[in-house]
Amino acid sequence: MAAVASACALTLAGCGTSTGGSGSGSVDTLNEVDYYGSAPQDTQIQGVLNECGAQVGVKVVHQQVPREQLMPKLLQEASARSLPDLALIDNPNLQQVAATGGLVSLSQAGLSTAGLYPSIVSAGTYQGQTYGIAPGVNGLALFYNKDMFAAAGLKPPTTWDELTADAKALTTGSRRGIAFSAVGTEEGSFQFEPFFWTAGADLKNLASPQAVQALTLWKTLVDEGSASKSVVSWTQADVDSQFLAGNAAMMVNGPWQIPTLDAKAGLNYGIVPIPVPSPSAKPVTPLGGEVWTVGHSNSAREAKAVAVVKCLLSPDRSLEWSKDAGYIPSNEAAAAQLGQSDPQLAAFVTEVATAHARTAELGTAYPKVSTALYNAIQSCLAGGMSPQAALSQAQSQAGS
C-alpha cells in the first residue's frame, strides 16, 4: 500500500480516475481521495464510505494523499478535468478548487442543505453555488485543568480580563497558565482567529483597532510569562502535549484532542467556550474540518457520487462520522443530540452557531491573507514588533 501511495504521489494525475464504470452507462466503482493519514482515521472514513457505497450500489475506493500534496494534486487534475469522483478537502481550499470549474455544483445536483448550520453551508459555497459540504466540523475552545483551578480557588474564565488574571495566577515554576499555537502556518492563524473575530476584527483590515486588541492579548500573555515563548513554534499537537504533561493549566485546542486527554489517567479537565472581550460578546470561532466534493466526469458517475454525498450528510451518518472523528455534526439536530449526550462537546456545539467560515470574507484570497496574519503573529511574539506595527505590515503584505 505504501508503494502504491508513493506511486500516486509521484504521478499525481495518474491516480485520479478509475476505469470501473468510466463510461456513461453502469457505474460500479467510484474513487475518493483525502489527506487522512492515521490508521484510525483511515478505518473510520473507509467505514462510512463502505456503508454509503453499499446503499448507493457502488464500491468506493479510498486513497490517502499526504496533506501537503493533496491540493497540488487536485489542482493539476482539475486542469486536466480528471478530478476524483469524491474528494474530502480542507474547507478553506474549497473555493480555489471550485474556481477551476472542475467541481459539480451540488446545488444544481439537487443536494439539499436544509437542517445544516448556515455557517457550514457558506464554507462550501463559491459564487452563490454549493460545491462542498462538511459532514461535520471542528473548532476551538478553552480546555482547563479542573484540579489546578480548584487548588487556586478559580472558576474557568469567560472574559479576556479573567483569562489574563487566571493565566497569571496559575503560572508557577515550570507550569504556565495557558498554552496555544502561534506557529507560522495556517494553524497559527486558525488559533488566533477566535480572538481576532470575537474582538470584532475582519480579514479585510488586518490592522484595525480590534485586530490590534486581539494580538495585544496574546502578547501580554507571553510577555507576562503566563504563556511560554515557545508558542511560536508549537503546533496544536504540541499544545496538547504540554497540557497532558501538566505544563499548562489551560489550552486553546479542538475536540480531536479529547481521545488522548481521556486516555490520560488522573487527568481531570473541562472545556468551555473561548473567552470574550466583554460579557455581552459571543465567541466567534473559525470552522475547521473538511468538505465533500464531487468531480466532473459524466452524468452517471456524477449522479452516483452525489448520491454517496447525500448519504454521508444524512443525520445518522453525520453523527456517526462526528463521533468517530471528534467533530460536531453539520446537521443542527444531530449536533444538539451529540451535545446532550457528551457534555465535553457542549462548548463546541454552542460555538458552531456563531462560527465563521474562513473564506467567507475573502474567498480565494484567504490563503494570502492568512499567511500575512500568521507572519504578523510571529513578528510580534518572536520578533519584538508591536502588535500595531506587525499588523500594519501584514495589511501591506496582504494587499487588501
Residue 148 resides in a domain: yes
What span, in angstroms and rounded, lies between the C-alpha atoms of 278 and 155? 17
Q: Is 266 in the same domain as 314?
A: no
Residue 156 resides in a domain: yes
Residue where the block lists cell 474556481: 99
Overall domain count for the chain: 2
What span, in angstroms and rounded, lies between the C-alpha atoms of 396 and 10? 37
CB 388 within 8 A of CB 208: no
User: For residue 22, what pLDDT is reported?
Assistant: 41
pLDDT tens per residue, range 168-210? 999 999 999 999 999 999 999 999 999 999 999 999 999 999 9
* CA proximity to 25, closest of 293, 297, 294, 306: 297
Q: Is 163 in the same domain as 192?
A: yes
At 319, the amino acid letter reads L
Q: Is 373 in the same domain as 253?
A: yes
Residue 357 resides in a domain: no
Q: Is 85 in the same domain as 225?
A: no
Residue 180 resides in a domain: yes
Q: Is 47 in the same domain as 155?
A: no
Q: Is 167 in the same domain as 78?
A: no
pLDDT tens per residue, range 83-112? 999 999 999 999 999 999 999 999 999 999
CA neighbours closer than 13 Å in the CB half-sphere of residue 3: 0
pLDDT tens per residue, range 218-257? 999 999 999 999 999 999 999 999 999 999 999 999 998 9
User: For residue 348, what pLDDT is reported?
Assistant: 94
179's enclosing H/E stretch is strand 176-179
User: For residue 42, what pLDDT is reported?
Assistant: 59
Residue where the block lists cell 500595531: 388
Phi/psi for 138 (5° steps) reads -125, 175
Report DSSP letters for 123-138, one per residue: HTEETTEE--B-SEEB
pLDDT tens per residue, range 342-395? 888 999 999 998 999 888 888 889 999 999 999 999 999 999 999 999 999 999
CB 104 within 8 A of CB 131: yes
pLDDT tens per residue, range 284-295? 999 988 999 999
Q: Is 366 in the same domain as 254?
A: yes
Report DSSP letters for 89-103, one per residue: EEGGGHHHHHTTT-B
**Mean pLDDT over all residues of the chain?**
90
- Which has the minimum average pLDDT: 41-50, 68-77, 312-321? 41-50
CB 321 within 8 A of CB 335: no
User: For residue 18, what pLDDT is reported?
Assistant: 39
Residue 154 resides in a domain: yes
Number of H helices and E strands in the chain, helices first, is 17, 12
Terminal CA-CA length for the chain? 44
CB 56 within 8 A of CB 307: yes
> Could you tell me the CATH number of the domain that includes residue 109?
3.40.190.10
CB 221 within 8 A of CB 169: no
User: For residue 46, what pLDDT is reported?
Assistant: 82
User: Which 3 state secondary structure label does DSSP give 168?
Assistant: helix
Note the residue count of the chain.
Answer: 400
Q: Estimate the share of the chain in helix, then strand, then coil, as percent rounded to the nearest 5.
A: 50, 15, 35
What span, in angstroms and rounded, lies between the C-alpha atoms of 261 and 241? 9
CB 294 within 8 A of CB 109: yes
Q: Is 161 in the same domain as 73?
A: no
Question: What residues have CB less than 8 Å from 245, skipping those under 6 apart?
Answer: none
Q: Is 170 in the same domain as 299?
A: no
The cell for 314 is 444524512
The cell for 247 is 505544563
Q: Is 157 in the same domain as 62?
A: no
The cell for 39 is 490508521
Distances (CA, A) of 182 to 55, 231, 239, 322, 381: 44, 5, 10, 27, 8
Q: Is 204 in the same domain as 165?
A: yes
Domain range for 87 is 2-138+288-352
User: For residue 17, what pLDDT is reported?
Assistant: 40
Look up the pTM and report it: 0.83
User: For residue 34, what pLDDT is reported?
Assistant: 92
What span, in angstroms and rounded, lies between the C-alpha atoms of 115 and 110? 15
pLDDT at 331 > cutoff 70? yes
What span, in angstroms and rounded, lies between the C-alpha atoms of 131 and 326? 24
Residue 45 resides in a domain: yes
Strand partners, 295: 103
Q: Is 292 in the same domain as 312?
A: yes
User: Which 3 state secondary structure label does DSSP give 345?
Assistant: helix
CB 77 within 8 A of CB 13: yes
pLDDT bracket for residue 324 (50, 70, 90): confident
At 266, the amino acid letter reads G
Inter-helix orientation angle 299-312/315-325, to 10°: 70
